[in-house]
Amino acid sequence: MSSSDKKIITIVGSGLIGRSWAMVFASGGYTVKIYDNQPGQAAKAITEIRKQLGELEEAHMLRGELNTAQQLALLSSHEDLAQALEGAFFIQECVFEELEAKRSVFQSIEGLVGKDVILSSSTSCLLPSNVFSRVQNRSRCIISHPVNPPYYVKLVELVPHPETEATVMDITYALMTQVGQVPVRLKKEIDGFALNRVQYAIIAESWRLVQDGVISVKDIDLVMSEGLGMRYAFIGPMETMHLNAPEGLEDYLKRYREGMKRVLTGFGPVPDFSGEAAKSITEEMSELIPSNQQHLSARRERRDQLLMGLAKLKQQH
């Protein structure tokens, strides 16, 4: 039995991401208390998790050392915030992506927990200095930004508030590693964090290439899925450069520096993602995958199946 057996984590907000975090932490042997301010929602979350854990077990994709029943036994739902927070050393907030909602939730939480409890937010786009502005002791605050679905896509961006203590970052990093996620540390806060900044750079250039009539929607997606994406599931852009020249990165820069700068200088302005271009790109996309629930759900299912397979493959390497 590991030392985590008695350790408690509270999830505040039990939507898509709150449920995923609960599964991840339970897989690591943590006791997880789930709170939602919608009556009945936290209990519903546990029903949904039970179903998902059953499916995962069947697919031999259940994470952690514990079986489904043992993991389920670690979960409880709570209608009262104070009760949900009792005994927890780590709080993962997963409420709506609205600044005011997050600010007031953290204000309430701080009033109910001890001084050493870590306050962590799942926000995708809000900055720590905004989210935690009403917390008195901000040295214990951090953002732990997951990627959807966290059960297969394990990256967690850890983003500190300017006042976050180094030990809070270290404890969060260790926790994420222990439950099988892959944390990365941002050294300071920045709009979009790292993942969305890189993602938006890719989206923007893909958009410009289609808008400028260089390539079709279908083919730019193939550039990623059959080209860059093949490598990027295993090695990042830095290692890619390092491996792509006989003598490594320095050699790569010697060979390709000028070419990279020339191409990058030719990039167009930030697209406005609206108007005629948006209309025609949306139409082109809808011809490939109609924008109705039936087709979208089928493609989402396919995506999640493929991610499951990729996660399995990555486990072996």
Ligand X SMILES: NC(=O)c1ccc[n+]([C@@H]2O[C@H](COP(=O)([O-])OP(=O)(O)OC[C@H]3O[C@@H](n4cnc5c(N)ncnc54)[C@H](O)[C@@H]3O)[C@@H](O)[C@H]2O)c1
Q: Which stretch binds ligand X (CB under 6 A): 13-21, 59-67, 111-119, 169-177?
A: 13-21
Return d(Cα 190, Cα 198) in angstroms, integer: 13
The site that binds ligand NAG (CB under 6 A) totals a number of residues, namely: 7
As measured in angstroms, the least distance from the Cβ of 4 to ligand NAG is: 19
Q: Which stretch binds ligand X (CB under 6 A): 3-11, 96-104, 250-258, 281-289?
A: 96-104
Contacts of 119 (CB under 8 A, 6+ apart): 91, 93, 106, 109, 110, 113, 132, 135, 140, 141, 142
Contacts of 132 (CB under 8 A, 6+ apart): 106, 119, 121, 138, 141, 161
Query: What are 119's strand-pairing partners?
Result: 91, 141
Among 16, 222, 224, 306, interactor with ligand X by CB under 6 A: 16
Of 115 and 317, the one with the shorter C-beta distance to ligand NAG is 115
Among 76, 83, 137, 196, interactor with ligand NAG by CB under 6 A: 137
Among 8, 18, 24, 74, interactor with ligand X by CB under 6 A: 18
Kindly state whether residue 94 participates in binding ligand X, applying the rule CB under 6 A: yes
CA dihedral sign, ordered 35, 37, 41, 43:
positive
User: How many residues in the chain?
Assistant: 317
Among ligand NAG, ligand X, none, partner that 14 touches (CB below 5 to 8 angstroms by kind): ligand X
Kindly state whether residue 134 participates in binding ligand NAG, applying the rule CB under 6 A: no
Among ligand X, ligand NAG, none, partner that 15 touches (CB below 5 to 8 angstroms by kind): ligand X
Among 140, 145, 154, 161, interactor with ligand NAG by CB under 6 A: 140
Residues 127-156 that bind ligand X (CB under 6 A): 145-146, 148
Kindly state whether residue 154 participates in binding ligand NAG, applying the rule CB under 6 A: no
Q: How many CA atoms lie within 13 A of 35 on its CB side?
A: 19
Residues 239-268 that bind ligand NAG (CB under 6 A): none
Kindly state whether residue 123 participates in binding ligand X, applying the rule CB under 6 A: yes
What's the N-to-C CA distance of the chain in angstroms? 27
Among ligand NAG, ligand X, none, partner that 115 touches (CB below 5 to 8 angstroms by kind): ligand NAG
CA dihedral sign, ordered 296, 34, 156, 264:
positive
Kindly state whether residue 163 participates in binding ligand NAG, applying the rule CB under 6 A: no
Alpha carbon separation from 96 to 19, 122, 159, 236 (Å, rounded): 13, 10, 19, 31
The residue type at 292: N
Q: Which of 113, 32, 117, 109 is nearest to 77 (CA)?
A: 32
Among 38, 47, 130, 282, interactor with ligand X by CB under 6 A: 38
Per-residue burial over 96-110, b if 16 or more Cβ lie within 10 Å, else e, is eeeeeebbebbebbb
Contact positions toward ligand X, by CB under 6 A?
Answer: 12-18, 36-38, 41, 94-97, 101, 105, 122-124, 145-146, 148
Contact positions toward ligand NAG, by CB under 6 A?
Answer: 115-116, 137, 139-140, 165, 168
